[in-house]
A and B are shown apart, each in its own frame.
Chain A
Amino acid sequence: MKPSRLPLIVTWAVIAFFYVPIVILVANSFNSSRFGGSWESTSLKWYVRLMNEPSIWHALTNTLAIATAATLISMVLGTSAAFALHRFAGSKLQKLHYSIIYTPLVLPEILMGLSMLLFFVALKVQLGLATIAVAHVTFCLSYVAMTVLARLQDFDFAIIEAAQDLGAGWWTTVWKVLLPMLAPGILAGGLLAFTLSIDDFVISFFVAGPGSTTLPIKIYSMIKYGAPPLINALSTILLAITFLCVIASQYLSNRGRPAA
Chain B
Amino acid sequence: MKAERRRKLSEWLVTLPSFLWLLLLFLVPTALVFAIMFKPATPYGGIGEGWTLATLRTLGNPNYPAIVARTLWLSVAATALCILLATPMGYYMARVSPARRRLVLLLVILPFWTSFLVRIFAWKVLLHPEGMLKHGLVLLGLIAPETSLLYNAYAVLLVMVYTELPFAILPIYAASEKFDFRLIEAAKDLGATSFLAFRKIFLPGIRVGLLTAFLMVFIPSLGSYVIPDIVGGPTSEMIGNKIAQRTFVDRNLPHAAGLSALLTVAVLIPMVAITALRRKESPKDALREEGV
Contacts and interface: CB of A to CB of B under 8 A. Distances in A.
Interface in A215-260: 216, 219-220, 223-224, 228, 231-232, 235, 238-239, 242-243, 245-246, 250, 259-260
A24 B47 contact: no
A206 interface: yes
Given A100-B19, A106-B219, A115 B30 contact: yes
Interface string B50-82: 000000000000000000000000000000000
Given A7-B88, A202-B226, A118 B253 contact: yes
B135 interface: yes
A94 B95 CA distance: 37
Contacts of B216: 106
A201 B15 contact: no
B165 to A, nearest CB: 7
B29 A118 contact: yes
A87 B13 CA distance: 12
A47 B117 CA distance: 19
B92 A24 contact: no
A22 B111 contact: yes
Given A10-B85, A77-B18, A238-B114, A121 B215 contact: no
A118 B267 contact: no
A216 B15 contact: no
Contacts of A24: 122, 125-126, 132
Contacts of B222: 108
Contacts of B32: 115, 118-119, 122
Contacts of B46: 121
Contact of A259 (B98, B125, B260): B98
Given A21-B122, A22-B114, A146 B25 contact: no
B126 to A, nearest CB: 5
Contacts of A202: 225-226
B122 A77 contact: no
Contacts of B225: 110, 202
Contacts of A15: 104, 107-108
Interface of A: 1, 3-4, 6-8, 10-11, 14-15, 17-22, 24-25, 28, 34-38, 76-78, 80-81, 83-84, 87-88, 91, 93-94, 97-98, 100-104, 106-112, 114-119, 121-122, 134-135, 137-138, 141, 145-146, 149-150, 153, 195, 199, 201-202, 206, 216, 219-220, 223-224, 228, 231-232, 235, 238-239, 242-243, 245-246, 250, 259-260
Interface of B: 7, 11-12, 14-15, 17-19, 21-23, 25-30, 32-33, 36, 46-47, 85, 88-89, 91-93, 95, 98, 102, 104, 106-111, 113-126, 128, 130-132, 134-135, 162, 165, 169, 188, 193-195, 215-216, 219-220, 222-226, 230, 240, 243-244, 247, 253, 256-257, 260, 263-264, 267, 271, 287-288, 290-291
30 contacts: A1-B193, A4-B194, A7-B88, A10-B89, A11-B88, A18-B162, A21-B119, A22-B114, A28-B125, A36-B132, A76-B17, A88-B11, A88-B15, A93-B15, A106-B220, A108-B220, A111-B267, A114-B33, A115-B32, A116-B25, A117-B253, A118-B36, A122-B36, A122-B47, A153-B291, A216-B117, A224-B230, A235-B121, A245-B113, A250-B106
